[in-house]
Structure 1
Amino acid sequence: MEPNWDFIFHRRHPHYFRNLECWQRSAAAYAGGEAYLRQALIRHVSEVELEFAERLRRAYYFNYPRKLARLITQFVLSVEPTREGADPALVEDFSRSGLRAGEVMRQFSTLLNVFGGAAVEIEMPFFEGEVDCERRNREKLRPAAKVHSPLEIPDWGFGADGELDWIIFEEHVRVAPGPWKPAVELLRRKLYTRNECFVLEREAGTGIVRQRLHAVHRLGAVPAFYLTEPDGYGLNSGHYFEDVVRISDAILNNESESQMNIVKQMFGLLVISEGFARGARSAGGSRSGGATEKFSHVLARSAAIWESPEERGISRYISPSGADTSRIREENDALKRELFDTVGMALVTPCREAQTAESKAWDYHQVKQFLACRADMLEQAELRCWKLMAKFDPSIRVPSVLYNREFAVADLKSSIESLLELREFSGGTAYRREVEKSALFLLEKIRKIDPLRRRAILEEIEREEKEADHA
């Protein structure tokens, strides 16, 4: 019996349904640009269409969501992980499209920051016949890692052993067979089970579903994994990035208001007397031919407003004061601090001089712990990638992967001074070697050291330690 492939295109996991709108908003905020300005900028009730259109054209977007997502990744991956025993060819081309292992994990980390979850698919190209070393290198017949956002994972299921039993990946594909044939837009879904892989495609215009590929991998495991932050969705809660986007939207709208206030200060708002308006109306109505010319008025922030002669009687321009603009900027500065504090990356306080040494140390410890937890997730994820690759190709050795968990978020100058003071203390050989290793770590914060050179330095330190032990 032919399977109902169309049913695969309608599957949606409840978790996917609950978070779809939030994920789409987070993705749009990260992307930024004019499309997001039109989505996030709020029109006021008293704002006419022309006025809002002007404010929209003038608006600009400080992309704090992207800055924060990338900042966390840059901190965590500031030191290249060690991969002892890894295949150099795989490290240099982890995706079979030119992305190195570190670059693939950078993508994975940023997706975790934006969505609170991400998946990695380990795919193997389909081939027939015998494979020797030359053909393997020429056709790149080796497993590769591909990162997916939650928006590309519509459904999945777990088995009784707690491991993935099956998973579906979705992507939009444009097939262009050549310059003389029209391109075709397809929606592709890839279904992985523990022993098989199905690739299905649905044409955008006709909706026809076809099975493009069926392959048997016989791994006994789904060649993919889906990780979510354990203290987010793992506790049946949402992801903090939704709050980041909301605070960023508040900054965007406040900044737009501040910008328009500056424009109003330069050009002002016209106020005319009611008597002038009535005179203009009567003049229009007494024109020849009996035609009545309309004299319209609109109540809006940028349109002329009426004023009775008793109130003022003098036409003039008014504008908001500069104090209003400064208050908006102060509010935005406070929101920016709260924004970084929301994700645990508040390294700078408004009154740094007034901070005690204890409070500074606690702030640094908070950031270091946050980054260490993220490094632990990335380390586990990359190790799972290597293990799945080894299932496809037993000749691939699973390396010893180690991510850095020491982050110099405190002042570098004070750290070096403290390290120099430690060298003055009397201690054994092992103590001095630990000080030297710490000095190497701080040196990397000043200038990036080649991984091979770094390993040579560490080996030299360890060799001196062994020689001292034997002496």
Structure 2
Amino acid sequence: MSESTFIFNSRHPEYVAHAEAWRRARDAYSGGTEYIHKALIKHVSEISMEFEERQQRAYYFNYPRNIAQRITQYALAVDPVRAGASTELVEDWSRSGLRVNEVMRQASTLLNIYGRAWLFCGAPAFEGAVDRERAERERLRPYCVALSPLSVKDWAYGDDRRLLWAKIEEMHTYDSNPAVMRQTVRRVRLWTRDRWELYDPLTSEITTGANPTGVVPLVELIEPDGFGIEANHWFEDVVRISDAILNNESEAQMNVVKQMFGMLVVSENFQRGAAKAMPGGKKTENDSFSAVVARSAALVESPEEKGISRYISPSGVETSTIRAENANLKQELFDVVGLAIQSRSREAQTAESKAWDFQNVTQFLANRADLLEQAELRAWEIMNLWDGSVPVPQVTYNRKFAVRDLEKNIAGLLQLSNVPGTGIEYRKAALGIAVELLDAIGSIPDDRKKALLKEIEETRPAPVPELNFGSVDNDDPDNNQGDDDETE
């Protein structure tokens, strides 16, 4: 086996173990007609014509995409703080118009889908000296993009627990010449700590270049739960439950269709008469009467039975049962990923279960924020190795998440604040809780939060106004004046 062939075909053992599940998760996230045809299961007794119709009628509720995106939306609901970052790079981190937040959202969603994601930090190749004007004109600066694990085929770590080398698959389209038909090829680029090699099957050439960073410019993101104990990723279970909902919904839909149109039942005498009426009085291989009539397979019964032709259809009980099962599956689907922070009945949920769910979700999101923060910081450090003028910012991700029922909490707080007969200390406690709720919603800066809490603590009771019960003070000139006026 030649070196180029080995470079193209070698795969990391973890890639080999999970590639099939990764592709299935990717297809489930993408959805569409192609995935419906892949995920729908044909019954053992289902004829091809009915299955084809069911495929054409089927529709897909894309729960995998909903879940993957929702986790990212919660985890990155508040923009991270990047003190000292280059404004230009923050606004275009990928060199293709994607900001830092958008690249990190991509990485987070990839992590949800696959349980593993990569950040690649590169720089465009150039020759000759580069001044500031040329750098701005040709946009010669480092960049960072998110990669799925399907793009990183093989890798290895050294004794220092840093990447020793990695192979990245690149889909490249040759279309710079409008007079030549475009061609898209799968190239593989091998990165080591001091150089890179590009293998192109179209040209059969190996292009090489220097890697001045001294590191493999990749950052691996991996969920510690799951792959850390050599387990499958939880998103596989999400896909399987989603597939079950798809198949159940398809069955319910076809039941509705059959209720509208029904299935034809004919007598044996009618069947024989129809067969005799055909040319030659014989049934040919192309005769579809006994197999298919109208929209579905026909049932044949003997004269000893009903003896009459009629339509039958399934009752509505089966359809309602399927829909109820799908409702249960949907609930279980969100329970699997810990997103169901309430039961179906919020009133039925105990205080202990609510507290447990709240801690479960917030801890998951806090771990995700910590993972993204470390990965982004490492990406900035690699970009700095490409170009020393790129500052390494202080990156801070939000770790406070408003996943409680804030509307009810605030309403309850307002009711408690209006309890009659309470003193200043009670009101201070209520105001302190209000500040914590505001912090949960909008992440108040620490200095401002301290100022608010100090202001609450320094609150004093309002002065009690003096009460006048109508007594007359003879020394008061106003009272005397009032007497004179009355005399007049």
> TM-score normalized by structure 1?
0.88
* Structure 1 residues 177 and 364: alpha-carbon distance in aligned structure 2, compared to 1, 3 A threshold: same
CA distance in 2, matches of 1:131, 1:462: 49
Asked if the contact 1:416/1:442 (under 8 Å) is kept, the reply is no
Q: Which amino acid aligns with 1:76?
A: A
CA distance in 2, matches of 1:48, 1:437: 64
CA distance in 2, matches of 1:64, 1:439: 30
* Structure 1 residues 136 and 415: alpha-carbon distance in aligned structure 2, compared to 1, 3 A threshold: farther
CA distance in 2, matches of 1:465, 1:323: 60
Asked if the contact 1:94/1:101 (under 8 Å) is kept, the reply is yes
Does residue 163 in structure 1 map to residue 158 in structure 2?
no
Q: Which amino acid aligns with 1:409?
A: V
Tell me the residue number matched to 1:311.
305
Does residue 114 in structure 1 map to residue 117 in structure 2?
no
Q: How does 1:431-450 map to 2 (within 5 A)?
A: 438-442=436-440, 444=442
Does residue 261 in structure 1 map to residue 260 in structure 2?
no
* Deviation at residue 461 of structure 1 after TM alignment: 5.5
* Deviation at residue 218 of structure 1 after TM alignment: 3.0
Tell me the residue number matched to 1:25.
24
Does residue 244 in structure 1 map to residue 238 in structure 2?
yes
Tell me the residue number matched to 2:36.
37
Q: Which amino acid aligns with 2:300?
A: W
* Structure 1 residues 371 and 49: alpha-carbon distance in aligned structure 2, compared to 1, 3 A threshold: same
* Deviation at residue 136 of structure 1 after TM alignment: 2.2
* Deviation at residue 96 of structure 1 after TM alignment: 0.7
CA distance in 2, matches of 1:435, 1:125: 52
Say which of 179, 202, 210 aligns to 2:205. Answer: 210
Tell me the residue number matched to 2:354.
360
Tell me the residue number matched to 2:291.
298
Asked if the contact 1:6/1:209 (under 8 Å) is kept, the reply is no
* Deviation at residue 146 of structure 1 after TM alignment: 1.3
* Alignment coverage as a number of residue pairs: 447
CA distance in 2, matches of 1:181, 1:274: 67
Asked if the contact 1:189/1:199 (under 8 Å) is kept, the reply is yes
Tell me the residue number matched to 1:182.
181
Q: Which amino acid aligns with 2:108?
A: S
Q: Which amino acid aligns with 1:441?
A: D
Q: Which amino acid aligns with 1:210?
A: E
Tell me the residue number matched to 1:401.
395
Q: How does 1:47-446 map to 2 (within 5 A)?
A: 47-203=46-202, 209-212=204-207, 214-284=208-278, 290=280, 292-294=282-284, 296-298=289-291, 302-417=296-411, 426=425, 438-442=436-440, 444=442
* Deviation at residue 53 of structure 1 after TM alignment: 1.1
* Deviation at residue 240 of structure 1 after TM alignment: 0.8
CA distance in 1, matches of 2:384, 2:108: 23
Per-residue CA shift, 1:130-182, capped at 9, x if unaligned? 33332222222211101110111110011011111011110222110222111
Report the secondary structure of 1:83's partner residue.
Answer: strand
**Structure 2 regions of 5+ residues with no counterpart?**
458-488
CA distance in 1, matches of 2:334, 2:424: 38
Q: Which amino acid aligns with 2:404?
A: A
* Deviation at residue 425 of structure 1 after TM alignment: 6.7
CA distance in 1, matches of 2:56, 2:47: 14
CA distance in 2, matches of 1:417, 1:467: 23
* Deviation at residue 51 of structure 1 after TM alignment: 1.1
* Structure 1 residues 436 and 335: alpha-carbon distance in aligned structure 2, compared to 1, 3 A threshold: closer
Asked if the contact 1:94/1:100 (under 8 Å) is kept, the reply is yes
* Deviation at residue 189 of structure 1 after TM alignment: 1.1
> TM-score normalized by structure 2?
0.85
* Deviation at residue 67 of structure 1 after TM alignment: 0.7
Q: Give the stretch that moved more between structures: 312-321 or 103-112.
A: 312-321
Tell me the residue number matched to 2:478.
none
Report the secondary structure of 2:320's partner residue.
Answer: helix
Q: Which amino acid aligns with 1:185?
A: T
Asked if the contact 2:92/2:98 (under 8 Å) is kept, the reply is yes
* Deviation at residue 466 of structure 1 after TM alignment: 9.5
Q: Which amino acid aligns with 1:130?
A: A
CA distance in 1, matches of 2:300, 2:188: 62
CA distance in 1, matches of 2:375, 2:265: 65
* Deviation at residue 202 of structure 1 after TM alignment: 1.5
CA distance in 2, matches of 1:466, 1:325: 61
* Structure 1 residues 220 and 433: alpha-carbon distance in aligned structure 2, compared to 1, 3 A threshold: farther
Tell me the residue number matched to 1:10.
9
Report the secondary structure of 1:235's partner residue.
Answer: coil
Asked if the contact 1:299/1:305 (under 8 Å) is kept, the reply is no
Q: Give the stretch that moved more between structures: 146-155 or 135-144.
A: 135-144
CA distance in 1, matches of 2:212, 2:176: 32
* Structure 1 residues 412 and 439: alpha-carbon distance in aligned structure 2, compared to 1, 3 A threshold: closer
CA distance in 1, matches of 2:430, 2:140: 48
Per-residue CA shift, 1:245-284, capped at 9, x if unaligned? 1110000000000000000000001011122212323344
Q: Which amino acid aligns with 2:75?
A: V
* Structure 1 residues 467 and 308: alpha-carbon distance in aligned structure 2, compared to 1, 3 A threshold: closer
Per-residue CA shift, 1:278-337, capped at 9, x if unaligned? 2323344xx5xx463445522899211101122211111110111110000000001001
Q: Which amino acid aligns with 1:120?
A: L
Report the secondary structure of 1:154's partner residue.
Answer: strand
Q: Which amino acid aligns with 1:209?
A: S
Asked if the contact 2:413/2:434 (under 8 Å) is kept, the reply is no
Report percent identity of matched pairs.
Answer: 50
* Deviation at residue 401 of structure 1 after TM alignment: 1.0
**Structure 1 regions of 5+ residues with no counterpart?**
446-453
Asked if the contact 2:15/2:153 (under 8 Å) is kept, the reply is yes
* Structure 1 residues 348 and 321: alpha-carbon distance in aligned structure 2, compared to 1, 3 A threshold: farther
CA distance in 2, matches of 1:313, 1:465: 87
CA distance in 2, matches of 1:150, 1:108: 11
